[in-house]
Amino acid sequence: MCGIVGYIGGRSAWPIIVKGLQRLEYRGYDSAGVAVINDGGLLVRKCKGKVADLVQMVKGQDLSGSVGIGHTRWATHGVPNDVNAHPHTSMNGKFVVVHNGIIENYREIKARLVEKGYSFKSQTDTEVLANLIESFYLNEKLTAEQAVKAALRRVIGAYGLGIICTDEPGILIAARKGSPIAIGVAQGEYFLASDATPIVEYTDQLIYLDDEQVAVLSSDGYTISNLNDVHVDPVITHVDFDADNIDKGGFDHYMLKEIHEQPQSIADTMRGRVQSETHTINLGGIADAMPRLASARRIIVVACGTSFHAGLVGEYLFEQFARIPVEVEYASEFRYRDPIINDDDVIIAISQSGETADTLAAIRMAHEKGALVLGVCNVVGSSIARETDAGIYTHAGPEIGVASTKAFTSQVVVLAMMAFALGRRRGNIDEATYASLIDGLVAIPSLIAQVLDSEPQIREVSRAYQLAQNAIYLGRGYLYPVALEGALKLKEISYVHAEGYPAAEMKHGPIALIDNCMPVFVLATHDKFYDKIVNNIQEVKARRGQVVAIVTKGDCEISKMADYVIEIPECDDALLPLVAVVPLQLISYYVAVMRGCNVDQPRNLAKSVTVE
Ligand code: F6R
């Protein structure tokens, strides 16, 4: 969590930093700050609130200076307030630090620094780090770079860092362990940031630091070395990233834009992989791993949040088509329960950001136990993408809204492609079925476009339930994970308590919650569970619950019982999650807007969860 930005070069750092912070606000937005060095010395400005509050606070002030760092925070240590906001300055004003991550042994370091006479203004672990660096610098007469390395050799935990030193104003230092750092390389200037989004409008040449690497940037060049001073030859990655992609494109919110992008993002996920004319699926990213995947004894999917729900859809897909047993695990549980992993298991880690700390830790553990680890990530060059043995990028484009929408559908498309290709390879799917599944996949973008045409009706349904305090989502089979996802979307952006259940589970407890104030969103399409789900709807209506049913176009039975129906076009059961999730995304979006919630930046959340 937290976003950091830095700049050194010939331009004024402040406008570059502030724009970068706005692009990174999805990573945290409870306070923001910036530090620049100019001829007058060091200027640090920070405040509780969003980057816009910082901009307002410094209006009219001279923040010129061509080296600087900035931060937008998601609080871990210390409540969000002006003092705990980053950057943090060391006691004697020599070092200024912005930090993404957690220094786990900060208490003992702080105690030692207090003994040496250091005092602290904030409750943060970052201020401890700033002072630790300064104590090495002053006591052992080190250079700024050496002092940073000496301090980082002492810390336990995770960090992505931007550091400036008032005695060495011509350099900007970056370091990484656990939390991502991208460095943008341009002519006579360098950028650093938590991901590529603040950098891509200035340069397409990026270096992603690896763990325990330190970069020293100046307008004359840069060096990268590890904590033991061993020089590292950087790998410069060319990023193909359209800066226009990170604007709202005329929509009121990123979330709405991203919901509407799904026909395109899904097409992008399939581009070059699904050939509709020849009915083939070509997954180059896992081609070498395919034999081992095809003979896996078991697939274990690890993920968090929405990516976990995509993984649950994957379980149905892999078991139906590939006939390989699948377990889907919350990464946070998996990593701590000493799971049994054999070397003929294959782990699939799913992560939009590719930086989720628990998922990253889970794949490291699986690696140690000898399993093949595959990644399904959206962010190119992210930590999970780099640490997996092979993988498939979702290519959904940047997802800025904190609530994940287009990433989910692209993840499901990747899992469907994998399951179909595996099923064919293992001889479980005949040629005709394979061709028809591929035709079904290719048709999904246009089916989603049809659902998006119903947006005005979906908005009116949302209006009817905007004041609800609770909601239940029910689905069966492939639509059970969609029920979970619908409930997650509603609670995270509308702050309405919502629960998703397999529909048949309702009578084992949740049915007690049903009264005339309880909206129940039922996924009731023409699949093999249709008759059963009709019975579930009747059970809800018998208890005077309010039913909003997502039905197959042309259904005339359910409209007689439900309070509202939203029609979606027909498609293969296995692909239904891709279509059925869209009305639920729109409902949560409109309920949140009608309740006056900050849709793109819901309270307490952050897009990239780099702390466990
Ligand atoms: C929900 C949401 C989160 C993420 C979760 C995993 O809308 O965005 O639940 O899905 O934090 O994030 P990634 O996919 O980046 O690992």
Domain holding 487: CATH number? 3.40.50.10490
Is 517 an active-site residue? no
The answer on 369 and 427 residing in a single domain is: yes
Query: 493 C-alpha to center of ligand 1: Å?
Result: 13
Summarize the confidence of residues 143-149 as an average pLDDT: 98
Same domain flag for 110 and 21: yes
* Exposure class string for 118-145: b at 16+ Cβ within 10 A, else e: bebebebbbbbbbbbbbbbbeeeebebb
Same domain, 220 and 100: yes
pLDDT category at 28 given cuts 50, 70, 90 is: confident
The finding on whether 359 has its CB within 6 A of some atom of ligand 1 is yes
Specify the amino acid at residue 385: A
Mean pLDDT of the chain: 93
User: Is 607 tagged catalytic?
Assistant: yes
Residues 269 and 399 in one domain: yes
**pLDDT at 417 exceeding the cut of 90:** yes
Whether 588 lines ligand 1, by a CB cut-off of 6 Å, is no
Is 283 inside a domain boundary?
yes
Q: Domain check: are 140 and 154 in the same one?
A: yes
CATH number at residue 119: 3.60.20.10
Instruction: Report pLDDT for 179.
Output: 87
Say whether both 259 and 218 belong to one domain. Answer: no
**Does residue 225 lie within any of the structural domains?**
yes
Q: What is the pLDDT of residues 467-509, one digit of tens each?
A: 999 999 999 999 999 999 999 999 999 999 999 999 989 889 8
In terms of domains, do 29 and 46 share one?
yes
Q: Give me the amino acid identity at 189.
A: E
Q: Ligand 1, residue 411: give the atom nearest the CA.
A: 14
- For residue 602, being part of any structural domain is answered with no
Residues 437-446: tens digit of each pLDDT: 999 999 999 9
Looking at the predicted structure, is the pLDDT value of residue 188 above 80?
A: yes
* The pLDDT of residue 244: 63
**Shared domain check, 510 and 367:** no
**Domain end (from 229, 244, 259):** 244
Domains in the chain, number: 3
* 491 and 529 fall within a common domain: yes
Of the residues 433, 448, 463, the one at which a domain ends: 448
Quick one: average pLDDT of 241-252?
75
In a domain, 155, yes or no: yes
Mean pLDDT on 42-55: 93
**CB of 160 closer than 8 Å to CB of 180:** yes
Do both 306 and 285 map to the same domain?
A: yes
**Cα(24) to centroid(ligand 1), Å:** 16
- Which of 392, 416, 448 represents a domain boundary (last residue)? 448
- The answer to whether position 13 is within a domain reads yes
330-334 mean pLDDT:
93
Q: What does the pLDDT read at residue 247?
A: 77
Q: Is 608 domain-assigned?
A: no
At a CB cut-off of 8 Å and minimum separation 6, what does 321 contact? 419, 420, 422, 423, 428, 429, 437, 574
- Confidence band of 99 (pLDDT split at 50, 70, 90): very high
What is the rounded average pLDDT of the residues 68-85? 86
In the predicted structure, residue 588 carries a pLDDT above the cut 90: yes
| Structural domain that includes position 277 | 251-448
Q: Which atom of ligand 1 is nearest to the CA of 402?
A: 8
What is the DSSP secondary structure assignment for residue 27, as one 8-state letter? G
Identify whether the C-beta of residue 573 lies closer than 8 Å to the C-beta of residue 527. Answer: yes
Flag whether pLDDT at 243 surpasses 70: no
In a domain, 557, yes or no: yes
pLDDT band at 606 (very low <50, low <70, confident <90, very high): low
In this predicted structure, the answer to whether residue 609 has a pLDDT above a threshold of 70 is no
Contact of 81 with 97, CB cutoff 8 Å: no
pLDDT value at residue 341: 92
Determine contact, residues 380/386, Cβ cutoff 8 Å.
no
Whether the predicted pLDDT of 376 surpasses 90: yes
> Is 604 a member of any domain?
no
pLDDT in tens, 273-307: 999 999 999 999 999 999 999 999 999 999 999 99
- For 516-532, how does the pLDDT look when each residue is reduced to its tens digit (9 = 90+)? 889 999 999 998 889 88
Q: Which of 179, 353, 411 should be mutated for ligand 1, with most atoms under 8 A from CB?
A: 353
Q: Are residues 443 and 591 in the same domain?
A: no
Question: Does 351 contact ligand 1 (Cβ within 6 A)?
Answer: yes
Indicate whether 486 and 413 sit together in one domain. Answer: no
Please say whether the beta carbons of 348 and 364 come within 8 A. Answer: no
